[in-house]
Amino acid sequence: MARRKKLYEGKAKVLYEGPEPGTIVQYFKDDATAFNAEKKDVIDGKGVLNNRLSEFFMTGLGNIGIPTHFIKRLNMREQLIKAAEIVPLEVIVRNYAAGSMAKRLGMEEGTRLPRPIVEFSYKDDSLGDPLVPEEYILAFGWANQQELGEIVDMALRVNDYMSGVMFGVGIKLIDFKIEFGRVYDGEFPRLILADEISPDSCRLWDIETGEKLDKDVFRRDLGNLTDAYTEVARRLGVLPSNVTHPNTNPTLIN
Ligand SMILES: Nc1ncnc2c1ncn2[C@@H]1O[C@H](COP(=O)(O)OP(=O)(O)O)[C@@H](O)[C@H]1O
Ligand SMILES: [Mg+2]
């Protein structure tokens, strides 16, 4: 079989040309990076978990009417997605202060925000993905006014869905990052949710204990990242079969 064409290799994923025009195969690597790739490691099994978790969230969001790039999972590490023209923004939704926001405003991490806050970073690793105001986005044409409105509306719907799903399994959704892309119906662009939704791109805290179940475990050396992601997948009932350890002992039924 001919080697398929690699389109892009990023920090966490590789994109290959898909089987049909307009499709891409997204491969989830085990690589973990933080602080703009200053800190790096390979975390066994992370890619498998993120492939499953992103499938789970994208499918759920699709079911409530949010258009996404997800088509189908192909295997343990790969999923087929719609090729999109990525809007060069990291769209961040925050429910509680954490990370850069907590630092910037001198707030204690975990402080409940008065309402969900949507903010934007310009997607450019060499600049460290700087926070940008809407004015920049419009002036530089990264997105137009109508698109920006749709992006905020969709981001807040994603937040409601994700917060609810997480709350149901005892997890607080502190914040998350998503990306959007354009697909074309003829010459008319339509926005879809792209990239991934996984514990790499969310902050997830256990409601009872406050334990972190996301990439901060890696960023801050808090323990085993695979264990944390496995716990999220287990609670959501989406553990890949080869990672589960079913009790194979006979069960007494009386
Ligand atoms: N549906 C899509 N079509 C085209 N590009 C996409 C799509 N979804 C995600 N991407 C892009 O693919 C890349 C995914 O790989 P990743 O390792 O996350 O890269 P990066 O290091 O740039 O964040 C990202 O640059 C992301 O913007
Ligand atoms: Mg990325």
In a domain, 14, yes or no: yes
Ligand 2: centre distance to CA 87 (Å): 13
Q: How many domains does the chain divide into?
A: 2
In a domain, 215, yes or no: yes
Last residue of a domain, one of 82, 105, 140: 82
Q: Is the CB of 31 under 6 A from ligand 1?
A: no
In a domain, 235, yes or no: no
Residues 41 and 144 placed together within one structural domain of the fold: no
Closest CA to 233 of 177, 171, 161, 175: 171
What type of residue is 141?
A: G
Q: Are 90 and 121 in contact (CB under 8 A)?
A: yes
Q: Domain containing 36: what range?
A: 6-82
Q: Which helix (H) or strand (E) holds 94?
A: strand 89-96
Ligand 2: centre distance to CA 105 (Å): 26
Residues 124 and 215 placed together within one structural domain of the fold: yes
User: pLDDT at position 3, please?
Assistant: 77
Query: Which ligand lies nearest to the CA atom of residue 201 in the structure?
Result: 2
Residues 100 and 213 placed together within one structural domain of the fold: yes
Ligand 1: centre distance to CA 135 (Å): 24
User: pLDDT at position 242, please?
Assistant: 54
Q: Is the CB of 181 under 6 A from ligand 1?
A: yes
CATH number at residue 43: 3.30.200.20
In the chain (254 residues long), the average pLDDT of successive 10-residue segments reads 87 97 98 94 97 98 98 98 98 98 98 98 96 98 98 98 98 98 95 98 98 97 96 94 54 62
Residues 47 and 90 placed together within one structural domain of the fold: no
The number of residues making up the chain comes to: 254
Q: Is the CB of 15 under 6 A from ligand 1?
A: yes
CA–CA separation, 53 vs 56, rounded Å? 5
CA–CA separation, 166 vs 145, rounded Å? 31
Residues 166 and 99 placed together within one structural domain of the fold: yes
Last residue of a domain, one of 82, 97, 129: 82
User: pLDDT at position 2, please?
Assistant: 63
Ligand 1: centre distance to CA 195 (Å): 5
Give helix then strand counts, H and E, for the chain: 6, 14
In a domain, 100, yes or no: yes
Residues 110 and 160 placed together within one structural domain of the fold: yes
Q: Are 108 and 213 in contact (CB under 8 A)?
A: no
User: pLDDT at position 244, please?
Assistant: 47
Residues 171 and 49 placed together within one structural domain of the fold: no
In a domain, 247, yes or no: no
Q: Is the CB of 83 under 6 A from ligand 1?
A: yes
In a domain, 193, yes or no: yes
In a domain, 90, yes or no: yes
Phi, psi (deg, nearest 5) at residue 173:
-85, 105
Mutate to test the pocket of ligand 1, among 7, 9, 15, 129 (most ligand atoms within 8 A of CB): 15
Residues 103 and 220 placed together within one structural domain of the fold: yes
Query: Which ligand lies nearest to the CA atom of residue 11 in the structure?
Result: 1
Inter-helix orientation angle 145-168/46-63, to 10°: 110
Ligand 1: centre distance to CA 248 (Å): 40
Residues 103 and 174 placed together within one structural domain of the fold: yes
Q: Is the CB of 177 under 6 A from ligand 1?
A: no
Ligand 1: centre distance to CA 90 (Å): 11
CA–CA separation, 135 vs 180, rounded Å? 18
Query: Which ligand lies nearest to the CA atom of residue 179 in the structure?
Result: 1
Residues 97 and 36 placed together within one structural domain of the fold: no
Residues 75 and 140 placed together within one structural domain of the fold: no
Last residue of a domain, one of 48, 67, 82: 82
CA–CA separation, 94 vs 68, rounded Å? 21
CATH number at residue 207: 3.30.470.20
User: pLDDT at position 9, please?
Assistant: 98
Residues 120 and 25 placed together within one structural domain of the fold: no
